[in-house]
Amino acid sequence: MVLKPLVECVPNFSEGRNQSIIDAISTAIKNTPGCTLLDVDPGKSTNRTVYTFVGEPSAVVDGAVNAARVAFKLIDMTQHKGEHPRMGALDVCPFVPVRDVTMEDCVNCAKEFGRRVADELKVPIFLYEEASTQPHRKQLRQIRQGEYEGLKEKLKDPQWKPDFGPTEFVPSYGGTVTGARYFLIAYNVNILGTKEQAHRIALNVREAGRSEKEPGRLKFVKGLGWYVDEYNMAQVSMNLDNYRITPPHIVFEECSKDARELNLAVAGSEIVGLVPLEALLMAADYYIKKESLFIIDEALKVRLAIDRLGLSSCSQFDPKKRIIDYMVQEDLTITQPLASMSVRSFIEVLGSRTPAPGGGSAAALVAAMGAGLGAMTGWMTYGKKKFEALDPIMRELIPPLDKAMRDLIPYIDADTNAFNEVIRAFSVKGVQEKEQAVEKAYKQAINVPLGTMKVASSCWVHLLKLAEHCNMASKSDLEVGCKSLETGIWGAHRNVMINLTEIKDQTFIQTVQTEADQILEFSQKSIEKVLSILNNRKD
């Protein structure tokens, strides 16, 4: 299945206290066809609400325009006060690439949004980040300098002519900044201290530091200190512009270090809006290594990150509602229909009067079960007092077997999909075009089971060591696992061989056949060794 392109929009509105206005903006977004509202995060002290929604590019632009209309009608900037810097009712509206869209696509979204809002509402719109080509007005802080109160005079300066809309000041609305950027994490570290102390830490860690001569320690970090009345504590409030360079856990550790030097307590942290799963897994891996932990399950890694960063200190952090990957994940019954079936259903469809799923899908399933039984044998040894001395070995062996098991599951559907592509290739019109399409489809139908063989074969080195050290109460489980793995590899090999007969590319044939035969031979020798080790153990 081809997944739809996805853009994220994260508009920030200058209203965080009036629930009816907050709800009205939410409704405008939710009622826009093609838009999915993922998160609404209001703040009373900041008097600001951050919305997060996704959709295809055109739908997301429609949703942002609809929300801007509501803000124009209901928010009065002449009455607005709050801790957060701002210059307009819809203060900033970034578009972020999520899936199958380019940064250029998001720049086009920002420009289309800016043009439509300026034309309809007659308000000034400024472009920033990737959508801006002017160095003096590329960053949000540059454009927002002077904030709402200084915007009237700013608009008189030719250097600050809006990218869209009039140069006249609209008191009730102010102005909007829109653009395209990569995923930004709005991240706050809680400090049991004063606003001034939190700001002092912000100056230490943010990239800009105190001045050009005295920069801060962390790249791609913007920050300031403020006091949040509803939390009754100060925060180092930051934007992490590139979490792959400076992830939340590094920011948390650096802020904590500075807080300790000031004899201040850190009371967890807060993510405003949504966060990529990758950022939390990076944090988990950091603490796993730092504390010599052994955790490979994704859900437990996420839980560890939430705990160590104190992400539930201000409000409950629900991974299903706060991690964007989980929010936009398509139902696996659509993307992996076979792998998502019940065991009974899969066996019944396997035995039905259809050519697919067939042996290739079954081979991938059997191989995945083999790797899974290997991982299970490791778990039946790990963490038990009787085998405590073997814990370091099990920590080494379980992760690659668990990974192979998970990597093999998608091959169940991939094999059937590849067969269906072969069928479709035969319907291509034109002799030469059909010939090329069929050759390409058959090559893919070969590469899929060959991939099954490669992943499954990677397990043998770990299974051999596992056979030497595992809890012998699980001997039969490991034997079944190894036999399943061997059967999966053999079945995938048969699929490779039968499809090779349809290929005309002799170089491809020779290369694939050699590799497949070598894997099969290695598998047959490996299972003999594993079974021999298990049968000869005396314990």
User: How far apart are the C-alpha atoms of 59 and 80, rounded to whole Å?
Assistant: 30
Element (H or E) spanning 483, and its range? helix 475-500
User: How far apart are the C-alpha atoms of 172 and 78, rounded to whole Å?
Assistant: 6
For the record, the structure tokens of 106 come out as 């998001």
Mean pLDDT of 257-262: 98
- Please answer whether residues 123 and 88 qualify as being in contact, where contact means their C-beta atoms are separated by less than 8 angstroms: yes
Q: How far is CA 265 from the centre of its chain?
A: 31
- Please answer whether residues 65 and 71 qualify as being in contact, where contact means their C-beta atoms are separated by less than 8 angstroms: no
**For residue 225, pLDDT beyond 90:** yes
Alpha helix stretches (DSSP H) within 38-102: 57-74
pLDDT score of 77: 96
pLDDT score of 83: 86
User: How far apart are the C-alpha atoms of 97 and 99, rounded to whole Å?
Assistant: 6
Helices H / strands E in the chain, number of each: 20, 11
Report the predicted TM-score, pTM, of the whole model to 2 decimal places. 0.79
User: How far apart are the C-alpha atoms of 274 and 437, rounded to whole Å?
Assistant: 42
Band (pLDDT 50/70/90 cuts) for residue 331 is low
In the residue annotation, 229 being an active-site residue is answered as no
Cross-strand pairs, 48: 43
Mean pLDDT of 423-443: 93
pLDDT score of 354: 87
85-139 pLDDT tens trace: 999 999 999 999 988 899 999 999 999 999 999 999 999 999 999 999 999 999 9
pLDDT score of 3: 63
pLDDT score of 1: 44
pLDDT score of 440: 94
Band (pLDDT 50/70/90 cuts) for residue 330 is low
Catalytic residue among 80, 84, 462, 493: 84
Residue among 409, 430, 411 at smallest CA distance from 419: 411
Domain 6-180 fold: Formiminotransferase-cyclodeaminase; Chain B, domain 1 (3.30.990)
Kindly give the pairing relationship between strand 176-180 and strand 90-99.
parallel
Give the torsion through C-alpha atoms of 236, 241, 245, 248, to 10 deg.
Answer: 40
Return the SS3 of 70. helix
Per the omega criterion (within 30 degrees of 0), is the bond before 162 cis? no
462-509 pLDDT tens trace: 999 999 999 999 999 999 999 999 999 999 999 999 999 999 999 999
Mean pLDDT of 352-365: 93
User: How far apart are the C-alpha atoms of 186 and 12, rounded to whole Å?
Assistant: 12
Band (pLDDT 50/70/90 cuts) for residue 332 is low
- Please answer whether residues 267 and 233 qualify as being in contact, where contact means their C-beta atoms are separated by less than 8 angstroms: yes
User: How far apart are the C-alpha atoms of 454 and 408, rounded to whole Å?
Assistant: 10
User: How far apart are the C-alpha atoms of 123 and 165, rounded to whole Å?
Assistant: 5
pLDDT score of 218: 97
pLDDT score of 336: 80
Domain boundaries of the chain, sorted by first residue: 6-180, 185-327, 332-536
Same fold, 6-180 and 185-327: no
Is residue 404 left, alpha or beta, with left meaning phi > 0 and alpha meaning psi from -120 to 50?
Answer: alpha
Kindly give the pairing relationship between strand 185-192 and strand 90-99.
unpaired
Mean pLDDT of 328-335: 64
- Please answer whether residues 63 and 52 qualify as being in contact, where contact means their C-beta atoms are separated by less than 8 angstroms: no
Exposed e or buried b per residue across 151-185, where buried means at least 16 C-beta atoms within 10 angstroms of its C-beta: beebbeeeebebbbbeeebbeebbbbbbbbbbbbb
Averaged pLDDT of the chain: 94
**For residue 159, pLDDT beyond 50:** yes
**For residue 333, pLDDT beyond 80:** no
DSSP 182-201: S--EEEEEEEES-HHHHHHH
Exposed e or buried b per residue across 498-518, where buried means at least 16 C-beta atoms within 10 angstroms of its C-beta: ebbeebeeeebeeebeeebee
**For residue 335, pLDDT beyond 80:** no
pLDDT score of 31: 96
Residue among 320, 373, 329, 190 at smallest CA distance from 265: 190
- Please answer whether residues 208 and 231 qualify as being in contact, where contact means their C-beta atoms are separated by less than 8 angstroms: no
Angstrom CA distances, 42 to 23, 26, 141, 209, stand at 11, 11, 21, 28
For the record, the structure tokens of 471 come out as 């809890």
pLDDT score of 356: 85
User: How far apart are the C-alpha atoms of 534 and 58, rounded to whole Å?
Assistant: 61
Catalytic residue among 163, 249, 415, 462: 415
In the residue annotation, 415 being an active-site residue is answered as yes
DSSP 431-454: HHHHHHHHHHHHHHHHHHHHHHHH
- Please answer whether residues 48 and 15 qualify as being in contact, where contact means their C-beta atoms are separated by less than 8 angstroms: yes
Architecture of domain 185-327: 2-Layer Sandwich (3.30)
CATH number of 332-536: 1.20.120.680
